[in-house]
Amino acid sequence: MNPLASEGNHHRQPWYQCACCPPNIARFLASLERYVYWVEDRKIFVNLFIGGEAQTALAGNKIKLKQQTEYPWKEQTKINVSVQEFSQFTIAIRIPQWCEDDVTLQINKTPIKLESKMEGGYAELTRRWEDGGLIEMEVPMNIKHIRAHPKVKANVGRGCLKRGLIVYCLEDVDNVAPQITLFFLKKSH
């Protein structure tokens, strides 16, 4: 049965006989390294902001990226670049679409103008990299109140809070307590 076609008689199962989440999480964690970085030609893509190290080679030159971050809880990410020898290549860093152009980038403490570097959602940093290069990125994560669209009758008066990529909400199905009424101040940080 399609739960979306229900006329109110379909209810969420408290637990399924076949628990799919734990093995799916284990499978995802085992494959995570394939999602964080991608190498193509003379370009290294940084897709996810996760602390750790990655090693690769471009045209025989060994390159190591060491990423330090507490994202999504903190706004800063640092990427240390180690190269075997001076070499020109591109490090393309994914800029999250939700951050509304507020991202700041620096290479070795020099600010970078993102407008001229953006290509397909990535900040492309092409330069002659030397050992000890440092990329610093800050992604502001202001708290936003998001209201449901008023034309969705089932969600009138509902909303959620969002900070960065994390959405915080309460759902009636999971909370048997009486209806919760929230109010929001105009400015909150």
Q: Where are the domains of the chain?
A: 33-138, 142-189
Residue type, 151: K
| pLDDT tens track for 70-105 | 999 999 999 999 999 998 999 999 998 888 668 999
- Give the DSSP H/E element, type plus range, for residue 29: helix 21-31
pLDDT at 175: 63
What top-level class would CATH report for the domain 33-138?
mainly beta
Residue 163 bridge partners (DSSP) = 143, 166
Which pLDDT band, with edges at 50, 70 and 90, does 177 fall under? low
pLDDT at 179: 61
- Residue 45's SS3 state is strand
pLDDT at 74: 94
Question: What percentage of the chain reaches a pLDDT higher than 90?
Answer: 48
DSSP 33: H
Of the ranges 23-27, 105-109, 159-163, which is most confident?
105-109
- Looking up tokens 């449901």 gives 148
- Looking at per-residue pLDDT, the higher value among 59 and 15 belongs to 59
Which pLDDT band, with edges at 50, 70 and 90, does 181 fall under? low
Please tell me the chain's helix, strand, coil percentages from 3-state DSSP, rounded to the nearest 5.
Answer: 15, 40, 45
| pLDDT tens track for 37-54 | 999 989 999 999 999 999
Mean pLDDT of all residues in the chain?
85
Give me the numbers of helices (H) and strands (E) for the chain, helices first please.
2, 14
Query: pTM of the prediction?
Result: 0.77
Burial class (CB in 10 A: 0-12, 13-18, 19+), 92: buried
Burial class (CB in 10 A: 0-12, 13-18, 19+), 82: middle
pLDDT at 75: 94
Range 3-28 average pLDDT: 75
| pLDDT tens track for 96-140 | 888 866 899 999 999 998 887 888 899 999 999 999 999 999 999
